[in-house]
Amino acid sequence: MTRLLELQVVTKHFGGLYALGGLDLHVDEGEIVSVIGPNGAGKSTMFNVITGLYEPDEGDVRFRDSSVVGLRPNQITRLGIARTFQTVHLFPNMTILENAMVGQHCRTKTGVFGAVVHTPRARREEAQIREKAREALDFFGSRLAGYRQDQPAFALSYANRRRLEMARAMATEPTILLLDEPTAGMNPRETLELRDLIVRMRDERGLTVLLIEHDMRVVKGVSDRVVALDYGRKIAEGSYEEVANNEQVIEAYLGTKAVG
């Protein structure tokens, strides 16, 4: 099993605040790994470090066994790491289809000449972009299909916006997909639907998934492995049951019992 993504002793601080303090984490190909932890544990910061928005102060992030530290986010995406955001960041005035098509940007090369003159290669690429974008949107069924694809993204409902963000990330044809709290704000029915979709992402589309989640039903239902963070460090790792029953994890979430 190839080790796709590895974080080695990653440390990141902002002024005096240590968001990540010596984090070790790995994801192997084909896995679905969930990262849990109380708020402020550094989960989103970890994503930002992996995808190049921040540079770690210490430690290394390796993808396919070569370091990606210091690369710009667009280079990292091109390597095959795609992500969604904790608060949805779509391109609100672009249509749904266009949002998805943006994802295909890093897989195409048409330059000014091709764009202006419409060379056969440019036309082929444009068709490919459309097709791949549609493929990504179709993964979410009728929600993002049909007439809707020409609607501006700001017209979407909240749940559909989250789905679109995932479709856009999938359109970049990633090897590993980072999902930041994908079910936040969804109702129970939508949450369960998404849980199944995540598993299908791996089974049908061959994606490896690293996700941050708070909803334990989802974590339980999709994860091959669960990693628990607190104060920027890993405090537990294993199957869902192992981690859920780990004393340190329970303490991190609930605090210790009051001394009676």
Partner 1 sequence: MEGLRVRSYIRAGLVGGIVAIYLMLEGLVERFGELNLIGDQVTLGRVLLALPPAVAAFVVMRPRTEAGRLVQPERRAGTVGGALTGLVTGGVMAVALLWADWFGIDRVRAVFVAASPALVEFLTFGRTIVTGALILLSVGVISGALGGVARTTDPGLRRPLTAGLSALIVFGLLQRVIPIAMVEIGLTPDWLYSPITKGLTWEGAAVVFVVAVAASIFWERRGRALRAELRAASDERPSVKFSVFLVLLAIAAVLPLLLGAVVSEVLGQVMIFMLLGLGLNIVVGFAGLLDLGYVAFFAFGAYTCALLTGATLNTTTGAAAPALSFHLSFYIAVWIVALLAAGLGVLIGAPVLRLRGDYLAIVTLGLGEIVSILTTSNWLQPIIGGAQGMRGVTKAQIGILNFQDNPQHFYYLGLAFVLLALFVSWRLSASRIGRAWNAMREDEQVADAMGINTTRFKLLAFAMGGAIGSVGGALFAVNLGSLTPASFVIFVSITALAVVILGGLGSLPGVIVGALVLIGLPGLLREFEEYRLLIYGGTLVAIMVLRPQGLVPNVRRMRELKEDERSQDAWAQAQAGADDGVAAEEPA
Partner 2 sequence: MATEPSAPAKTVQMSRFERLPWRKVILTALSVAIVAFVVVGAWKTLTLPAGERFSAASWRDFVILGLAQGAIIALIALGYTLVYGILRMINFAHGEIFMVGAFASFFFVDAYARSGFLDRHHIPATIIVLFVAMSASVIVAVLLERIAYRPLREAPRLVPLITAIGASLFLQNTFRGFFGSASRGYPRPQVLTGTWPIFGLKIDRMEVVVFVSSAVAMIGLSLFVSRTLTGKSMRAVSEDRDIASLMGIDVDRVVVTTFAIGGMLAGIAAVLFSFTFEQVNFLMGARPGIAAFTAAVLGGIGSIGGAALGGFTLGLLQSLGPALLLTGYGVPSPFQLKDAFTFLVLVLVLVFRPGGLLGTGEAEKV
Question: Which residues of this protein are in contact with partner 1, per CB under 8 A?
Answer: 51, 53, 72-75, 77-78, 82-83, 85, 89, 91-95, 98, 101-103, 105-108, 110-112, 115-118, 122, 125-126, 129, 138-143, 145-147, 150-152, 155, 168-169, 172, 189, 192-193, 196
Q: How far is the CB of 226 from partner 2 (least distance, A)?
A: 24
What backbone torsions phi and psi does residue 112 show, to the nearest 5 degrees? -60, -45
Least separation in angstroms between residue 118's CB and partner 2 is: 25
Between 69 and 192, name the residue whose CB sits nearer to partner 1: 192
According to DSSP, residue 51 is labeled T
Q: How far is the CB of 78 from partner 2 (least distance, A)?
A: 6
- Backbone dihedral region for residue 169 (phi beyond 0: left; psi -120 to 50: alpha; all else: beta): alpha
User: Least Å distance between CB 126 and partner 1?
Assistant: 7
Which of partner 2, partner 1, none interacts with 183 (beta carbon under 5 to 8 A by kind)? none
Min dist. Cβ of residue 205 to partner 2 (A): 6
Q: Which does 146 bind (CB under 5 to 8 A by kind): partner 2, partner 1, none?
A: partner 1
Instruction: Give Cβ neighbours of residue 245 (< 8 Å, ≥ 6 apart).
Output: none
Q: Determine the residue type at 120.
A: P
Contact between residue 200 and residue 23 where contact means Cβ atoms under 8 Å apart: no
Within 13 Å of residue 177, how many CA atoms lie on the same side as its CB? Answer: 28
- Which amino acid appears at position 117 of this protein? V
Identity of the residue, 189 or 257, whose beta carbon is nearer to partner 1 in the bound complex: 189
Two structure tokens written together for 169: 């990330």
- Residue 138 or 251 with smaller CB distance to partner 1: 138
The site partner of 94 among partner 2, partner 1, none (C-beta below 5 to 8 Å per kind) is partner 1
User: Whole-angstrom Cα distance, residue 9 to residue 211?
Assistant: 20
Residue showing tokens 């080695």: 8
* Residue closer to partner 2, measured from CB, 205 or 234: 205
Residue 66 CB, shortest distance to partner 2, in Å, is: 8
Binding site partner of 101, from partner 1, partner 2, none, Cβ cut-off 5-8 A by kind: partner 1
Nearer to partner 2, 160 or 183 (CB): 160
Q: Which residues bind partner 2 (CB under 8 A)?
A: 64, 66, 70-71, 75, 78-80, 107, 135, 138, 173-175, 203-207
Residue 193 tokens, joined: 């639907």
The whole-angstrom separation of Cα 260 and Cα 86 is 39
135, 206, 129: which is closest to 167 by C-alpha?
A: 135
Q: At what angle do helices 188-205 and 158-170 cross, to 10 degrees?
A: 10
Distances (CA, A) of 57 to 23, 50, 107, 230: 12, 13, 31, 19
Give 12 or 191: the residue with its C-beta nearer to partner 2: 12
